[in-house]
Amino acid sequence: MVAAVFYHKADSGYKDLPAFHYHFPKQYLSRVQQVIGRPIVYYGPLSGQTGQFYWAAAIVTDVREDSYLSDHYYADLRGYIEFDRMVSNRENGGLERNFILPDGRVSPGRAVQAVRVISDEECEAILAAGLSERSPWPERYDAADIDGSEFDEPPQAPLERPLVEQLVNRRFRDIKFRQHVRIAYDRRCAFTGLRLINGQGRPEVEAAHIMPVEANGPDSVQNGIALSGTVHWMFDRGLLSLEDDFTILRSRQLNHDVSHLLRPDLKALVPDNPRLRPHPYYLDWHRTHRFKAA
């Protein structure tokens, strides 16, 4: 079995939407076809950083022609998940075989390949480097999932299954999404500005999907926002939303004035790093399909 590395650069001329599809020229078609149903790892430069990094993974579901640009194709994806950290291409001497040469240089022949086929073992090593960090805070477990009281907080169990399999595990993905959003927002509710920590050290803030999972919304920080429980409930029901400039929108269907719950300037607190802020694509979806403006 094989996997692949997909090179992505945010300002390239390709029409990538990393959580949904990857755009590539015909010269890589046979390589991408090899990994239909298999995982891929995203790789490339990141804004504000020096070097090249592995930074996310997904699974290829299909390949289709670009109907507007000849000799170009899209790889459709599912299960997109961002890494806990940026993984340098030089980590441990290189996680891809023959990618980092003995003298420390990147192999010129492989560096220019936008799609590189790799082994399952290489893919697993990259996933392990990117997805094995534990949450800094205790996780919440439902009583049905564990023995003992619903208030018990067992430590995170070691990951025993291969990470390739974990990519499609909903529980694993929920934990990672919550971990990434809480870190990005420093455990603070974007709408209220409050950071509440319980007696066991667990943040009160929840990780909300802007485009929900049931609507094929990805587990991406750009499709997430940190919200307290009450605000999360109102956001999911379309009683609150966000403009692209992060102005908080209130539905006229709210039965009570909730101004006292929200930041006085009605501007959501978002991460300083633009890569971690809510993406206009998902905000537009929420305003169009969830928000009850009237």
**Predicted pLDDT of residue 139:** 63
DSSP string, 175-226: HHHHHHHHHHTTT--TTT----B-TTS-BS-EEEESS-GGGT--B-GGGEEE
Is domain 2-131 annotated with CATH 3.10.590.10? yes
The highest-confidence range among 99-113, 127-141, 198-212, 213-227, by mean pLDDT, is 213-227
**Confidence tier at 107 by pLDDT (50, 70, 90):** confident
> What DSSP state is assigned to residue 253?
T
Which of 270, 230, 229 shows the shortest CA–CA distance to 248?
270
**Confidence tier at 263 by pLDDT (50, 70, 90):** very high
Average pLDDT of span 97-122: 88
Domain boundaries, the chain: 2-131, 143-289
pLDDT of 156 higher than 50: no
**Predicted pLDDT of residue 161:** 55
Q: Output the CA–CA distances (angstroms, integers) from residue 269 to 11, 272, 277, in the order listed.
A: 26, 9, 10
**Predicted pLDDT of residue 137:** 67
Question: Which residue's entry shows tokens 């599912």?
Answer: 78
**Predicted pLDDT of residue 27:** 97
**Confidence tier at 258 by pLDDT (50, 70, 90):** confident
Average pLDDT of span 77-102: 90
Q: Residue 83's CB: how many other CB atoms inside 10 A?
A: 22
**Predicted pLDDT of residue 151:** 36
pLDDT of 289 higher than 90: yes
Cα–Cα distance measured from residue 248 to residue 263, given in angstroms and rounded to the nearest whole number: 9
Q: Which residue has the higher pLDDT, 5 or 156?
A: 5
> What DSSP state is assigned to residue 290?
T
pLDDT of 188 higher than 90: yes
pLDDT averaged over the chain? 88
**What is the percent of the chain where pLDDT is above 70?**
91
pLDDT of 47 higher than 90: no
